[in-house]
Structure 1
Amino acid sequence: MDIFYSLVRIVKVFATVCHFYLKLSFIYIARWYEPGLRTKGEYNHSIVVLGDDHALGVGDYSTLTAGSGIAQKLGRELAKEVSIRQTWQIYNRGAYKTSSEDWLHPADSKRKEKPELLSKVLQDPKFLRAEIVIIMLGSCDVLRKDPAISPQETVRNLELICQAIKKTGNQSKSIYLCTIPTAGDDTYLTQEQMEDNLLRNQLIEAYIKKNDDGVRQGLQIDLASNFEMKRRNLYWQDGRHFSDTGYTKMAKDWVPLIRPDMVKREFQLYRSDLGM
Protein backbone atom coordinates (compact mmCIF):
# COMPACT_ATOMS: atom_id res chain seq x y z
CA MET A 1 0.00 0.00 0.00
CA ASP A 2 2.87 2.37 0.83
CA ILE A 3 4.33 1.72 -2.60
CA PHE A 4 1.00 2.62 -4.20
CA TYR A 5 0.76 5.95 -2.32
CA SER A 6 4.38 6.72 -3.18
CA LEU A 7 3.63 6.17 -6.86
CA VAL A 8 0.56 8.40 -6.61
CA ARG A 9 2.65 11.18 -5.06
CA ILE A 10 5.28 10.85 -7.78
CA VAL A 11 2.62 11.02 -10.49
CA LYS A 12 1.08 14.12 -8.85
CA VAL A 13 4.44 15.88 -8.65
CA PHE A 14 5.24 14.96 -12.25
CA ALA A 15 1.82 16.22 -13.41
CA THR A 16 2.27 19.49 -11.50
CA VAL A 17 5.71 20.10 -13.01
CA CYS A 18 4.43 19.29 -16.52
CA HIS A 19 1.47 21.64 -16.01
CA PHE A 20 3.75 24.46 -14.88
CA TYR A 21 6.09 24.18 -17.87
CA LEU A 22 3.12 23.83 -20.23
CA LYS A 23 1.76 27.13 -18.88
CA LEU A 24 5.21 28.68 -19.25
CA SER A 25 5.40 27.53 -22.88
CA PHE A 26 1.98 29.05 -23.57
CA ILE A 27 3.15 32.37 -22.10
CA TYR A 28 6.21 32.54 -24.38
CA ILE A 29 4.28 31.44 -27.47
CA ALA A 30 1.51 33.98 -26.80
CA ARG A 31 4.11 36.77 -26.79
CA TRP A 32 4.42 36.31 -30.55
CA TYR A 33 0.91 37.71 -30.83
CA GLU A 34 1.92 40.78 -28.80
CA PRO A 35 -1.24 41.15 -26.69
CA GLY A 36 -2.46 44.47 -25.39
CA LEU A 37 -3.32 46.24 -28.64
CA ARG A 38 -6.05 48.79 -28.19
CA THR A 39 -7.09 50.88 -31.16
CA LYS A 40 -8.92 54.15 -30.72
CA GLY A 41 -7.20 56.48 -33.15
CA GLU A 42 -4.60 56.91 -35.85
CA TYR A 43 -1.77 57.90 -33.47
CA ASN A 44 0.44 55.12 -32.12
CA HIS A 45 2.23 54.72 -28.79
CA SER A 46 3.84 51.80 -26.99
CA ILE A 47 4.59 50.47 -23.51
CA VAL A 48 7.16 47.78 -22.71
CA VAL A 49 7.05 45.57 -19.61
CA LEU A 50 10.39 43.93 -18.78
CA GLY A 51 11.82 41.97 -15.89
CA ASP A 52 11.54 38.52 -14.33
CA ASP A 53 8.73 36.00 -13.67
CA HIS A 54 6.33 38.70 -12.49
CA ALA A 55 6.80 40.76 -15.65
CA LEU A 56 6.44 37.65 -17.82
CA GLY A 57 3.18 36.63 -16.15
CA VAL A 58 4.07 33.31 -14.51
CA GLY A 59 1.03 32.06 -12.57
CA ASP A 60 -1.46 33.84 -14.80
CA TYR A 61 -4.05 32.07 -16.91
CA SER A 62 -2.68 31.60 -20.42
CA THR A 63 -3.40 29.85 -23.70
CA LEU A 64 -1.50 29.57 -26.98
CA THR A 65 -3.03 32.80 -28.30
CA ALA A 66 -3.91 34.72 -25.13
CA GLY A 67 -1.18 36.76 -23.50
CA SER A 68 -0.49 36.87 -19.80
CA GLY A 69 0.64 39.14 -17.02
CA ILE A 70 0.54 42.91 -16.83
CA ALA A 71 1.00 43.43 -20.57
CA GLN A 72 -2.22 41.64 -21.43
CA LYS A 73 -4.26 42.74 -18.42
CA LEU A 74 -3.24 46.40 -18.68
CA GLY A 75 -4.26 46.52 -22.33
CA ARG A 76 -7.68 45.23 -21.37
CA GLU A 77 -8.10 47.78 -18.60
CA LEU A 78 -6.96 50.70 -20.76
CA ALA A 79 -9.58 49.77 -23.34
CA LYS A 80 -12.20 50.89 -20.82
CA GLU A 81 -10.64 54.33 -20.34
CA VAL A 82 -12.50 57.11 -22.17
CA SER A 83 -9.66 59.55 -21.46
CA ILE A 84 -7.27 57.45 -23.57
CA ARG A 85 -8.09 58.27 -27.18
CA GLN A 86 -5.13 56.96 -29.18
CA THR A 87 -3.57 53.54 -29.89
CA TRP A 88 -1.33 51.98 -27.25
CA GLN A 89 0.53 48.73 -27.89
CA ILE A 90 1.87 46.92 -24.82
CA TYR A 91 4.77 44.49 -25.23
CA ASN A 92 5.72 41.72 -22.80
CA ARG A 93 9.50 41.36 -22.50
CA GLY A 94 9.71 39.48 -19.20
CA ALA A 95 12.08 36.50 -18.87
CA TYR A 96 11.66 33.54 -16.52
CA LYS A 97 13.91 33.27 -13.43
CA THR A 98 16.16 36.16 -14.41
CA SER A 99 18.06 38.27 -11.90
CA SER A 100 18.99 41.95 -12.10
CA GLU A 101 22.48 40.80 -13.11
CA ASP A 102 21.01 38.99 -16.13
CA TRP A 103 19.45 42.26 -17.33
CA LEU A 104 22.53 44.45 -17.10
CA HIS A 105 23.84 46.12 -20.21
CA PRO A 106 26.92 44.11 -21.36
CA ALA A 107 29.17 47.12 -20.76
CA ASP A 108 28.04 47.31 -17.11
CA SER A 109 28.42 43.61 -16.28
CA LYS A 110 31.55 42.11 -14.69
CA ARG A 111 30.68 38.56 -15.78
CA LYS A 112 32.89 36.79 -18.29
CA GLU A 113 29.84 35.73 -20.26
CA LYS A 114 28.08 39.03 -20.83
CA PRO A 115 24.28 39.12 -20.37
CA GLU A 116 22.32 39.74 -23.57
CA LEU A 117 18.72 40.25 -22.44
CA LEU A 118 18.76 44.04 -22.26
CA SER A 119 20.94 44.51 -25.34
CA LYS A 120 18.49 42.41 -27.39
CA VAL A 121 15.56 44.46 -26.16
CA LEU A 122 17.41 47.71 -26.83
CA GLN A 123 17.94 46.62 -30.44
CA ASP A 124 14.22 45.96 -30.94
CA PRO A 125 12.55 48.75 -32.99
CA LYS A 126 9.39 48.25 -30.93
CA PHE A 127 11.31 49.09 -27.78
CA LEU A 128 13.08 52.06 -29.33
CA ARG A 129 9.70 53.67 -29.98
CA ALA A 130 8.42 52.92 -26.47
CA GLU A 131 7.31 55.91 -24.42
CA ILE A 132 6.70 54.06 -21.17
CA VAL A 133 8.81 51.25 -19.65
CA ILE A 134 7.62 49.20 -16.68
CA ILE A 135 10.32 47.29 -14.77
CA MET A 136 9.45 44.38 -12.47
CA LEU A 137 12.81 42.92 -11.54
CA GLY A 138 14.88 41.78 -8.57
CA SER A 139 12.77 39.07 -6.92
CA CYS A 140 15.11 36.30 -8.13
CA ASP A 141 18.25 38.01 -6.82
CA VAL A 142 17.80 36.55 -3.35
CA LEU A 143 18.01 33.04 -4.81
CA ARG A 144 21.30 33.60 -6.65
CA LYS A 145 24.22 31.78 -4.99
CA ASP A 146 27.11 31.79 -7.45
CA PRO A 147 27.80 34.59 -7.11
CA ALA A 148 25.31 35.91 -4.56
CA ILE A 149 23.65 39.28 -5.19
CA SER A 150 23.41 41.57 -2.17
CA PRO A 151 20.54 44.09 -1.73
CA GLN A 152 22.98 46.91 -2.50
CA GLU A 153 24.09 45.17 -5.70
CA THR A 154 20.46 44.62 -6.73
CA VAL A 155 19.68 48.31 -6.50
CA ARG A 156 22.94 49.26 -8.21
CA ASN A 157 22.07 46.89 -11.05
CA LEU A 158 18.60 48.43 -11.32
CA GLU A 159 20.16 51.91 -11.45
CA LEU A 160 22.48 50.85 -14.30
CA ILE A 161 19.58 49.23 -16.18
CA CYS A 162 17.45 52.37 -15.86
CA GLN A 163 20.35 54.56 -17.00
CA ALA A 164 20.99 52.34 -20.04
CA ILE A 165 17.30 52.45 -20.98
CA LYS A 166 17.16 56.24 -20.59
CA LYS A 167 20.02 56.67 -23.05
CA THR A 168 18.48 54.45 -25.73
CA GLY A 169 15.65 55.08 -28.17
CA ASN A 170 12.99 57.59 -27.21
CA GLN A 171 14.83 60.01 -24.93
CA SER A 172 11.62 61.28 -23.32
CA LYS A 173 10.44 57.86 -22.18
CA SER A 174 9.11 57.34 -18.66
CA ILE A 175 10.52 54.48 -16.57
CA TYR A 176 8.40 53.04 -13.75
CA LEU A 177 10.21 50.81 -11.25
CA CYS A 178 8.23 48.44 -9.01
CA THR A 179 9.18 47.11 -5.61
CA ILE A 180 9.98 43.40 -5.30
CA PRO A 181 7.04 41.08 -4.44
CA THR A 182 7.62 39.36 -1.11
CA ALA A 183 4.65 36.97 -0.95
CA GLY A 184 5.88 33.46 -0.17
CA ASP A 185 9.16 34.66 1.32
CA ASP A 186 8.23 33.19 4.69
CA THR A 187 7.79 29.80 3.00
CA TYR A 188 10.73 29.67 0.60
CA LEU A 189 13.40 31.88 2.20
CA THR A 190 15.50 31.92 5.35
CA GLN A 191 15.14 34.72 7.89
CA GLU A 192 18.30 36.35 6.55
CA GLN A 193 17.01 36.21 2.97
CA MET A 194 13.69 37.72 4.04
CA GLU A 195 15.53 40.60 5.70
CA ASP A 196 17.59 41.07 2.52
CA ASN A 197 14.41 41.41 0.44
CA LEU A 198 13.00 43.91 2.91
CA LEU A 199 16.21 45.94 2.58
CA ARG A 200 16.08 45.64 -1.23
CA ASN A 201 12.69 47.30 -1.30
CA GLN A 202 13.77 50.03 1.10
CA LEU A 203 16.77 50.79 -1.11
CA ILE A 204 14.63 50.75 -4.27
CA GLU A 205 12.23 53.29 -2.78
CA ALA A 206 15.15 55.45 -1.62
CA TYR A 207 16.60 55.37 -5.15
CA ILE A 208 13.29 56.44 -6.68
CA LYS A 209 12.85 59.27 -4.17
CA LYS A 210 16.38 60.48 -4.92
CA ASN A 211 15.21 60.74 -8.55
CA ASP A 212 18.64 61.44 -10.07
CA ASP A 213 17.77 59.31 -13.10
CA GLY A 214 14.18 60.51 -13.39
CA VAL A 215 12.82 57.05 -12.56
CA ARG A 216 9.22 57.05 -11.38
CA GLN A 217 7.54 55.07 -8.62
CA GLY A 218 5.85 52.00 -10.03
CA LEU A 219 3.46 49.79 -8.12
CA GLN A 220 4.42 48.84 -4.58
CA ILE A 221 3.67 45.13 -4.75
CA ASP A 222 5.51 43.94 -1.65
CA LEU A 223 3.66 42.98 1.53
CA ALA A 224 5.42 45.56 3.73
CA SER A 225 4.44 48.61 1.66
CA ASN A 226 1.01 47.56 0.43
CA PHE A 227 -1.39 45.73 2.75
CA GLU A 228 -3.73 45.09 -0.20
CA MET A 229 -1.23 42.56 -1.55
CA LYS A 230 -1.79 40.27 1.46
CA ARG A 231 -4.92 38.66 0.00
CA ARG A 232 -4.34 34.96 -0.67
CA ASN A 233 -6.40 34.90 -3.89
CA LEU A 234 -3.91 37.29 -5.51
CA TYR A 235 -1.37 34.48 -5.75
CA TRP A 236 -1.00 31.27 -7.68
CA GLN A 237 -0.92 27.87 -5.97
CA ASP A 238 2.76 28.25 -5.06
CA GLY A 239 1.91 31.34 -2.99
CA ARG A 240 4.74 33.28 -4.66
CA HIS A 241 3.68 34.13 -8.20
CA PHE A 242 0.60 36.20 -8.92
CA SER A 243 -2.63 34.57 -10.09
CA ASP A 244 -5.03 35.76 -12.78
CA THR A 245 -6.79 37.74 -10.03
CA GLY A 246 -3.48 39.22 -8.87
CA TYR A 247 -2.42 40.42 -12.32
CA THR A 248 -5.89 41.84 -12.94
CA LYS A 249 -5.73 43.81 -9.68
CA MET A 250 -2.28 45.17 -10.54
CA ALA A 251 -3.46 46.21 -14.01
CA LYS A 252 -6.34 48.15 -12.45
CA ASP A 253 -3.90 49.80 -10.04
CA TRP A 254 -1.58 50.74 -12.91
CA VAL A 255 -4.27 52.70 -14.79
CA PRO A 256 -4.55 55.72 -12.44
CA LEU A 257 -0.78 55.69 -12.00
CA ILE A 258 0.15 56.02 -15.68
CA ARG A 259 -3.02 57.58 -17.11
CA PRO A 260 -1.86 61.21 -16.60
CA ASP A 261 1.42 60.36 -18.35
CA MET A 262 -0.44 58.73 -21.27
CA VAL A 263 -2.93 61.60 -21.65
CA LYS A 264 -0.07 64.13 -21.62
CA ARG A 265 1.75 62.23 -24.37
CA GLU A 266 -1.38 61.99 -26.49
CA PHE A 267 -1.96 65.73 -26.15
CA GLN A 268 1.66 66.48 -27.08
CA LEU A 269 1.24 64.41 -30.24
CA TYR A 270 -1.92 66.30 -31.14
CA ARG A 271 -0.17 69.62 -30.62
CA SER A 272 2.83 68.58 -32.68
CA ASP A 273 0.60 67.41 -35.51
CA LEU A 274 -1.31 70.70 -35.46
CA GLY A 275 1.92 72.73 -35.36
CA MET A 276 1.06 74.32 -32.03
Structure 2
Amino acid sequence: MEAVSSLFRMVKVFLTVCSFYLKLGFIHLARWYEPALRTKGKYNHSIVVLGDDHALGVGGYSTLTAGSGIASKLAKELAKEAAIRQSWQIYNRGEYKTSTEDWLLPADSKRKDKPELLSKVIQDPKYLRAEIVIIMLGSQDVLKRDPTLTPQDTLRNIELICQALRRTGNNSKSIYLCTIPTAGDDTFLTEEQRADNLTRNRLIQDYVKKNEEGVLAGLEIDLASNFEMKRRNLYWQDGRHFSDIGYGKIAKDWIPIIRPDMVKREFLLFRSDLGL
Protein backbone atom coordinates (compact mmCIF):
# COMPACT_ATOMS: atom_id res chain seq x y z
CA MET A 1 0.00 0.00 0.00
CA GLU A 2 2.88 2.31 0.84
CA ALA A 3 4.44 1.61 -2.55
CA VAL A 4 1.19 2.45 -4.34
CA SER A 5 0.87 5.74 -2.42
CA SER A 6 4.47 6.62 -3.22
CA LEU A 7 3.93 5.87 -6.91
CA PHE A 8 0.75 7.97 -6.92
CA ARG A 9 2.63 10.93 -5.40
CA MET A 10 5.42 10.58 -7.99
CA VAL A 11 2.92 10.51 -10.85
CA LYS A 12 1.09 13.54 -9.41
CA VAL A 13 4.34 15.50 -9.11
CA PHE A 14 5.36 14.49 -12.64
CA LEU A 15 2.02 15.59 -14.11
CA THR A 16 2.16 18.88 -12.17
CA VAL A 17 5.65 19.63 -13.50
CA CYS A 18 4.61 18.71 -17.06
CA SER A 19 1.53 20.92 -16.74
CA PHE A 20 3.65 23.84 -15.53
CA TYR A 21 6.11 23.67 -18.41
CA LEU A 22 3.33 23.19 -20.94
CA LYS A 23 1.63 26.26 -19.50
CA LEU A 24 4.93 28.15 -19.61
CA GLY A 25 5.38 27.17 -23.25
CA PHE A 26 1.95 28.55 -24.12
CA ILE A 27 2.75 31.78 -22.29
CA HIS A 28 6.00 32.24 -24.21
CA LEU A 29 4.27 31.60 -27.53
CA ALA A 30 1.30 33.78 -26.62
CA ARG A 31 3.64 36.67 -25.83
CA TRP A 32 4.17 37.14 -29.55
CA TYR A 33 0.44 37.61 -30.05
CA GLU A 34 0.18 41.19 -28.92
CA PRO A 35 -3.47 42.25 -28.48
CA ALA A 36 -4.14 45.81 -29.53
CA LEU A 37 -6.83 48.12 -28.31
CA ARG A 38 -8.79 48.92 -31.46
CA THR A 39 -10.92 52.04 -31.58
CA LYS A 40 -12.35 54.30 -34.26
CA GLY A 41 -9.28 56.53 -34.14
CA LYS A 42 -6.56 56.35 -36.79
CA TYR A 43 -3.77 57.25 -34.37
CA ASN A 44 -1.46 54.60 -32.94
CA HIS A 45 0.38 54.40 -29.62
CA SER A 46 2.22 51.67 -27.74
CA ILE A 47 3.00 50.40 -24.26
CA VAL A 48 5.76 47.94 -23.32
CA VAL A 49 5.63 45.75 -20.21
CA LEU A 50 9.10 44.42 -19.38
CA GLY A 51 10.42 42.39 -16.48
CA ASP A 52 10.47 38.89 -15.02
CA ASP A 53 7.90 36.11 -14.44
CA HIS A 54 5.23 38.56 -13.28
CA ALA A 55 5.54 40.66 -16.42
CA LEU A 56 5.52 37.53 -18.59
CA GLY A 57 2.35 36.21 -16.98
CA VAL A 58 3.50 32.98 -15.32
CA GLY A 59 0.58 31.52 -13.37
CA GLY A 60 -2.13 33.08 -15.51
CA TYR A 61 -4.32 31.49 -18.15
CA SER A 62 -3.02 31.67 -21.70
CA THR A 63 -3.62 30.24 -25.16
CA LEU A 64 -1.76 30.80 -28.41
CA THR A 65 -4.12 33.62 -29.36
CA ALA A 66 -5.16 35.04 -25.99
CA GLY A 67 -1.93 36.76 -25.02
CA SER A 68 -0.51 36.56 -21.50
CA GLY A 69 0.13 38.56 -18.35
CA ILE A 70 -1.04 42.09 -17.71
CA ALA A 71 -0.32 43.09 -21.32
CA SER A 72 -3.27 40.97 -22.45
CA LYS A 73 -5.49 41.90 -19.51
CA LEU A 74 -4.69 45.60 -19.80
CA ALA A 75 -5.69 45.63 -23.47
CA LYS A 76 -9.10 44.20 -22.55
CA GLU A 77 -9.62 46.68 -19.72
CA LEU A 78 -8.63 49.67 -21.84
CA ALA A 79 -11.10 48.59 -24.52
CA LYS A 80 -13.85 49.39 -22.01
CA GLU A 81 -12.59 52.92 -21.40
CA ALA A 82 -14.68 55.56 -23.16
CA ALA A 83 -11.97 58.16 -22.52
CA ILE A 84 -9.46 56.22 -24.63
CA ARG A 85 -10.29 56.95 -28.27
CA GLN A 86 -7.18 55.93 -30.18
CA SER A 87 -5.37 52.64 -30.81
CA TRP A 88 -2.87 51.32 -28.27
CA GLN A 89 -0.61 48.31 -28.89
CA ILE A 90 0.56 46.62 -25.69
CA TYR A 91 3.71 44.52 -25.91
CA ASN A 92 4.71 41.80 -23.45
CA ARG A 93 8.49 41.69 -22.98
CA GLY A 94 8.59 39.66 -19.78
CA GLU A 95 11.30 37.01 -19.49
CA TYR A 96 11.11 33.94 -17.25
CA LYS A 97 13.32 33.93 -14.12
CA THR A 98 15.26 37.06 -15.01
CA SER A 99 16.89 39.32 -12.44
CA THR A 100 17.61 43.03 -12.67
CA GLU A 101 21.18 42.06 -13.61
CA ASP A 102 19.84 40.22 -16.67
CA TRP A 103 18.24 43.45 -17.91
CA LEU A 104 21.31 45.67 -17.81
CA LEU A 105 22.99 46.95 -20.93
CA PRO A 106 26.26 45.06 -21.63
CA ALA A 107 28.32 48.14 -20.76
CA ASP A 108 26.67 48.36 -17.32
CA SER A 109 27.05 44.67 -16.43
CA LYS A 110 30.04 43.20 -14.57
CA ARG A 111 29.28 39.66 -15.73
CA LYS A 112 31.51 37.86 -18.20
CA ASP A 113 28.49 36.73 -20.22
CA LYS A 114 26.93 40.08 -20.97
CA PRO A 115 23.11 40.35 -20.84
CA GLU A 116 21.29 41.23 -24.07
CA LEU A 117 17.62 41.53 -23.11
CA LEU A 118 17.47 45.32 -22.80
CA SER A 119 19.68 45.79 -25.86
CA LYS A 120 17.22 43.78 -27.96
CA VAL A 121 14.30 45.83 -26.67
CA ILE A 122 15.84 49.23 -27.37
CA GLN A 123 17.08 48.13 -30.79
CA ASP A 124 13.64 47.05 -31.97
CA PRO A 125 11.74 49.97 -33.58
CA LYS A 126 8.31 48.79 -32.39
CA TYR A 127 9.46 48.82 -28.76
CA LEU A 128 11.60 51.91 -29.22
CA ARG A 129 8.54 53.98 -30.13
CA ALA A 130 6.74 53.07 -26.91
CA GLU A 131 5.26 56.02 -25.05
CA ILE A 132 4.72 54.12 -21.80
CA VAL A 133 7.01 51.51 -20.24
CA ILE A 134 5.91 49.40 -17.26
CA ILE A 135 8.71 47.69 -15.30
CA MET A 136 8.01 44.63 -13.13
CA LEU A 137 11.43 43.44 -11.96
CA GLY A 138 13.28 42.33 -8.84
CA SER A 139 11.50 39.21 -7.60
CA GLN A 140 14.32 36.95 -8.80
CA ASP A 141 17.13 39.03 -7.27
CA VAL A 142 16.65 37.51 -3.82
CA LEU A 143 17.21 34.03 -5.27
CA LYS A 144 20.46 34.83 -7.06
CA ARG A 145 23.55 33.08 -5.74
CA ASP A 146 26.20 33.94 -8.33
CA PRO A 147 26.52 36.83 -8.22
CA THR A 148 24.56 37.58 -5.05
CA LEU A 149 22.42 40.67 -5.48
CA THR A 150 21.91 42.86 -2.42
CA PRO A 151 18.94 45.26 -2.15
CA GLN A 152 21.34 48.08 -3.01
CA ASP A 153 22.47 46.16 -6.12
CA THR A 154 18.82 45.75 -7.15
CA LEU A 155 18.16 49.48 -6.85
CA ARG A 156 21.34 50.38 -8.73
CA ASN A 157 20.46 47.98 -11.54
CA ILE A 158 16.95 49.43 -11.77
CA GLU A 159 18.38 52.94 -11.92
CA LEU A 160 20.70 51.92 -14.79
CA ILE A 161 17.82 50.25 -16.65
CA CYS A 162 15.64 53.35 -16.28
CA GLN A 163 18.49 55.60 -17.40
CA ALA A 164 19.05 53.46 -20.49
CA LEU A 165 15.34 53.59 -21.33
CA ARG A 166 15.25 57.32 -20.79
CA ARG A 167 18.19 57.87 -23.18
CA THR A 168 16.68 55.89 -26.04
CA GLY A 169 13.53 55.95 -28.12
CA ASN A 170 10.68 58.30 -27.38
CA ASN A 171 12.06 61.23 -25.40
CA SER A 172 8.73 61.91 -23.75
CA LYS A 173 8.05 58.33 -22.66
CA SER A 174 6.66 57.61 -19.19
CA ILE A 175 8.42 54.92 -17.14
CA TYR A 176 6.39 53.31 -14.36
CA LEU A 177 8.14 51.15 -11.75
CA CYS A 178 6.24 48.57 -9.68
CA THR A 179 7.22 47.26 -6.27
CA ILE A 180 8.36 43.63 -6.00
CA PRO A 181 5.64 41.05 -5.25
CA THR A 182 6.29 39.35 -1.90
CA ALA A 183 3.57 36.70 -1.82
CA GLY A 184 5.08 33.37 -0.85
CA ASP A 185 8.14 34.91 0.79
CA ASP A 186 7.12 33.48 4.18
CA THR A 187 7.14 29.99 2.69
CA PHE A 188 10.08 30.03 0.30
CA LEU A 189 12.57 32.51 1.76
CA THR A 190 14.69 32.71 4.87
CA GLU A 191 14.15 35.46 7.42
CA GLU A 192 17.17 37.33 6.05
CA GLN A 193 15.90 37.06 2.47
CA ARG A 194 12.46 38.31 3.49
CA ALA A 195 14.08 41.30 5.18
CA ASP A 196 16.09 41.98 2.02
CA ASN A 197 12.92 42.05 -0.08
CA LEU A 198 11.31 44.52 2.30
CA THR A 199 14.42 46.68 1.95
CA ARG A 200 14.27 46.39 -1.84
CA ASN A 201 10.72 47.69 -1.91
CA ARG A 202 11.51 50.51 0.48
CA LEU A 203 14.41 51.58 -1.75
CA ILE A 204 12.18 51.41 -4.85
CA GLN A 205 9.49 53.52 -3.17
CA ASP A 206 12.05 56.11 -2.08
CA TYR A 207 13.50 56.17 -5.60
CA VAL A 208 10.19 56.94 -7.32
CA LYS A 209 9.26 59.51 -4.67
CA LYS A 210 12.41 61.48 -5.50
CA ASN A 211 11.51 61.27 -9.21
CA GLU A 212 14.95 62.65 -10.10
CA GLU A 213 15.05 60.73 -13.39
CA GLY A 214 11.39 61.02 -14.29
CA VAL A 215 10.54 57.51 -13.13
CA LEU A 216 6.96 57.30 -11.91
CA ALA A 217 5.40 55.16 -9.22
CA GLY A 218 3.65 52.15 -10.68
CA LEU A 219 1.50 49.69 -8.77
CA GLU A 220 2.45 48.61 -5.28
CA ILE A 221 1.90 44.86 -5.61
CA ASP A 222 3.75 43.69 -2.49
CA LEU A 223 1.92 42.51 0.61
CA ALA A 224 3.39 45.10 2.97
CA SER A 225 2.30 48.10 0.88
CA ASN A 226 -1.04 46.89 -0.47
CA PHE A 227 -3.39 44.89 1.77
CA GLU A 228 -5.58 44.10 -1.25
CA MET A 229 -2.85 41.80 -2.54
CA LYS A 230 -3.33 39.45 0.43
CA ARG A 231 -6.28 37.63 -1.14
CA ARG A 232 -5.38 34.00 -1.77
CA ASN A 233 -7.27 33.76 -5.07
CA LEU A 234 -4.95 36.36 -6.60
CA TYR A 235 -2.17 33.78 -6.70
CA TRP A 236 -1.46 30.60 -8.59
CA GLN A 237 -1.07 27.25 -6.82
CA ASP A 238 2.60 27.94 -5.97
CA GLY A 239 1.53 30.94 -3.88
CA ARG A 240 4.11 33.19 -5.54
CA HIS A 241 2.97 33.92 -9.07
CA PHE A 242 -0.28 35.68 -9.81
CA SER A 243 -3.29 33.72 -11.00
CA ASP A 244 -5.49 34.77 -13.90
CA ILE A 245 -7.66 36.59 -11.35
CA GLY A 246 -4.56 38.30 -9.98
CA TYR A 247 -3.41 39.57 -13.37
CA GLY A 248 -6.96 40.76 -14.03
CA LYS A 249 -6.98 42.77 -10.80
CA ILE A 250 -3.57 44.28 -11.56
CA ALA A 251 -4.76 45.35 -15.01
CA LYS A 252 -7.85 47.03 -13.53
CA ASP A 253 -5.71 48.78 -10.91
CA TRP A 254 -3.48 50.17 -13.66
CA ILE A 255 -6.33 52.03 -15.36
CA PRO A 256 -6.63 55.02 -12.97
CA ILE A 257 -2.83 55.34 -12.95
CA ILE A 258 -2.18 55.48 -16.70
CA ARG A 259 -5.53 56.74 -18.03
CA PRO A 260 -4.64 60.46 -17.56
CA ASP A 261 -1.26 59.85 -19.21
CA MET A 262 -2.86 58.10 -22.19
CA VAL A 263 -5.58 60.73 -22.65
CA LYS A 264 -2.96 63.49 -22.57
CA ARG A 265 -0.89 61.73 -25.22
CA GLU A 266 -3.91 61.16 -27.44
CA PHE A 267 -4.84 64.85 -27.23
CA LEU A 268 -1.28 66.00 -28.02
CA LEU A 269 -1.13 63.76 -31.10
CA PHE A 270 -4.54 64.95 -32.31
CA ARG A 271 -3.61 68.58 -31.68
CA SER A 272 -0.29 68.21 -33.50
CA ASP A 273 -2.01 66.60 -36.48
CA LEU A 274 -4.35 69.59 -36.73
CA GLY A 275 -1.42 72.00 -36.53
CA LEU A 276 -2.65 73.62 -33.30
> Shorter-normalised TM-score: what interval?
over 0.9
Moved more, 105-114 or 177-186: 105-114
Q: Which residue of 2 aligns with 1:62?
A: 62
TM-score by length of 2: 0.99
Q: CA deviation at 1:38?
A: 2.8
Identity %: 78
Q: Which amino acid aligns with 1:16?
A: T
Distance 1:246 1:151 in 2: 26
1:144 aligns with 2:144: yes
- Please tell me whether the aligned partners of residues 46 and 91 of structure 1 are also in contact (alpha carbons under 8 angstroms): yes
Q: What SS does structure 1 have at the residue aligned with 2:89?
A: strand
Say which SS state the counterpart of residue 91 (structure 2) adopts. Answer: strand
Q: Secondary structure at the match of 1:50?
A: strand
Q: Is the 8 A contact 2:36 2:87 kept in 1?
A: no
Letter in 2 for 1:268: L
Q: CA deviation at 1:35?
A: 2.2
> In the alignment, which residue of structure 2 is the partner of 1:164?
164
| Separation in structure 2 between the aligned mates of residue 275 and residue 100 of structure 1, nearest angstrom | 42
Deviations 1:91-113 (A, max 9, x none): 00000000000000111101111
Which residue of structure 1 aligns with residue 25 of structure 2?
A: 25
The number of equivalent residue pairs is 276
Counterpart mapping for 1:1-276 below 5 A: 1-276=1-276
1:223-265 deviation digits (Å, cap 9, x = unpaired): 0000000000000000100001100000000001000000000
* Distance in 1, Cα, partners of 2:215 & 2:35: 25
Structure 2 CA distance for aligned equivalents of residues 67 and 95 of structure 1? 14
* Structure 2 CA distance for aligned equivalents of residues 70 and 82 of structure 1: 20
The amino acid across from 1:57 in the alignment is G
Q: Distance in 2 between matches of 1:224 and 1:8?
A: 39
- Quote the offset at 1:33 in angstroms: 1.6
Structure 2 distance, partners of 1:257, 1:15, is 40
One-letter amino acid of the structure 1 residue matched with residue 264 of structure 2: K
SS at match of 1:134: strand
Q: Aligned AA for 2:90?
A: I
Cα shift at 1:13: 0.6
CA distance in 1, matches of 2:24, 2:171: 33
Q: Secondary structure at the match of 2:32?
A: helix
Does the 8 A contact of 1:36 with 1:73 survive in 2?
A: no
Which secondary structure does the structure 2 equivalent of 1:135 belong to?
strand
Structure 1: unaligned runs, 5 residues or longer = none
For 2:109 and 2:201, locate their aligned partners in 1 and report how far apart those are by CA, in whole Å.
22
**Are the aligned partners of 1:151 and 1:196 in contact in 2 as well (CA < 8 Å)?**
yes
Give per-residue Cα distances to partners, 1:61-116, cap 9 Å, x unaligned: 01122111100000000000000000000000000000000000111101111000
Post-superposition shift, 1:37? 3.6
Q: Secondary structure at the match of 1:32?
A: coil
Q: Which amino acid aligns with 2:93?
A: R
CA contact (8 A) 1:60 1:247 kept: yes
Partner Cα separation in structure 2 for residue 40 and residue 70 of structure 1: 23
CA deviation after TM superposition for structure 1 residue 22, in Å: 0.5
Aligned letter for 2:47?
Answer: I
2:180–2:221 CA contact under 8 A, matched in 1: yes
CA RMSD, aligned part only? 0.7
Maintained 8 Å contact 2:104/2:160: yes
d(CA) in 1 for partners of 2:40 and 2:214? 30
CA–CA separation in structure 2 for the residues paired with 1:40 and 1:224: 41
1:220 is aligned with what amino acid?
E
Structure 2 counterpart SS, 1:33:
coil
TM-score (norm 1): 0.99
Gaps of 5+ in 2: none
Query: Amino acid of the residue matched to residue 81 of structure 2?
Result: E
Of 115-124 and 29-38, more deviation after overlay is shown by 29-38
Contact 1:36/1:74 (<8 A) preserved: no
